[in-house]
Amino acid sequence: MPFAQLVIGPPGSGKSTYCDGMHQFMSAIGRKCSVVNLDPANDHTSYPVALDVRDLVTLDEIMETEELGPNGSVLYALEELEHNFEWLEEGLKQLGEDYILFDCPGQVEIFTHHSSLRNIFFRLQKLGYRLVALHLTDSYVLTQPSIYISALLLALRSMLQMDLPHLNVLTKIDNLANYPNLPFDLDFYTEVHSLSYLLPHLAAEQTSRSISTRAKSTSKEANGNVGGDVADDVPTAKFAALNQAIIDLVEDYSLVGFETLAVEDKKSMMILLRAIDRAGGYAFGSAEGANDTVWQIAMRQDAVTMDARDVQERWLDRREEMDEEERREWEEEVKALKEVPEDEGSVAEKAGGSGKKNGGGGSDDGEEDLEEMEKMKAAMKDSGIKIIRKG
């Protein structure tokens, strides 16, 4: 049974960067993975494309023949893909049982109210794919209450529209240290509880904008650049009722929550992939795990944990200190790996098993584990994953 991630989100949320990083990460842990580009406007991908919608229809061709703008052309392209679903089906057959990452366009209407992408995904389900929708959001939205509330509404609407196993992810979490301090700890934003605490901050933000707007208007009027009356008595609580209604709406549904991601950090990628596996039903190895590799063991549910408070400490409170700790740990791991004796029995013990325990096959398994560790270390040096960022 093939599995797939449907990577959606607004422009700039890091969808293509995520697909590139997750493709590298899955390759490093030994999971066969292919990336399918469903964005007809994405003509410079940093990842190897196994199947590209641009082979079926191109944005330039649609804009020229149908006289549509860029956004309308993307919607038209998805409708064309829906009507020619057999093309996608045949292409996916060539990929066999590979884990598929679908890199989707960034126009929000395609996952809020336009039906073509949703219909395509439902037809993929009928082909036997186990799907998880991954809605990415730039963590910059946390820096302004109004943008954060907008992101919550967008995430909620996409969950209702897609009607699939769904995870919302705050990307670029490692950039939060570069922004002004947040009024609340990170778990307040990821767990999305007690949003009423945001109301004073929303009011302050909106009041500040009103004052700024009125000051500019007054200045222009004094210079004779403005005609008509200026509303100098804008109430400070103008949007208070609307703010409360939106917050009540999000809390009443009680659906939205966020995972976090720093795509260049292997531990962050590992924890997110584990959450995706739980949502989609993906499982590693046998229950006993006697012959599982070290990276299969590492990906198990109880192997690595990190909640929002850990993320807060890692990327906000003690970032430089923990960067240095990780660097030292990595150097010690590499040094210990180089000092492993060549004797097969010792190799098996270092890898976590012996020939006796594994029915005589432990030595080979140990060598395979060490080889896999070396491959992963080569694939993800220092920062975790080698990402090629698009300009």
- Per-residue pLDDT of 260-318, as tens digits, reads 999 888 889 999 999 999 998 886 433 334 344 555 555 554 444 566 767 777 767 67
The domain spans of the chain are 3-192+256-313, 202-242, 319-379
How confident is the model over 30-48, as pLDDT tens digits?
A: 899 999 999 998 888 889 9
Determine the residue type at 201: H
pLDDT value at position 212?
60
Determine the residue type at 165: P
Matching CATH number, 3-192+256-313, of 3.40.50.300, 3.40.50.2000, 3.40.50.1970, 3.30.70.1560: 3.40.50.300
Residue 65, judged by CB atoms within 10 A of its CB (0-12, 13-18, 19+), counts as exposed
Evaluate whether 142 touches 148 at the Cβ level (below 8 Å): yes
Q: What is the mean pLDDT of residues 146-167?
A: 94
Residue 74 pLDDT greater than 60, yes or no = yes
% pLDDT > 70, the chain = 72
Q: Which residue has the higher pLDDT, 320 or 184?
A: 184
Q: How far apart are CA 354 and CA 373, in angstroms?
A: 18
Cα–Cα distances in Å, from 328 out to 274, 303, 313, 317, 333?
26, 21, 18, 19, 9
Which of these, 137, 175, 179, 136, lies nearest to 311 by C-alpha position?
175
* Region label for 382, one of left (φ > 0), alpha (ψ between -120 and 50) or beta (otherwise): left
Residues near 243 by beta carbon (within 8 Å), at least 6 away in sequence = 149, 199, 202, 203
Residue 267 backbone phi and psi in degrees, to 5? -70, -40
Q: Which residue has the higher pLDDT, 191 or 239?
A: 191
Q: How far apart are CA 362 and CA 368, in angstroms?
A: 10
How confident is the model over 111-155, as pLDDT tens digits?
A: 999 999 999 999 999 999 999 999 999 999 999 999 999 999 999
Q: For the whole model, what pTM was predicted?
A: 0.74
Residues near 169 by beta carbon (within 8 Å), at least 6 away in sequence = 134, 135, 136, 137, 258, 259, 260, 261, 272
Residue 228 pLDDT greater than 90, yes or no = no
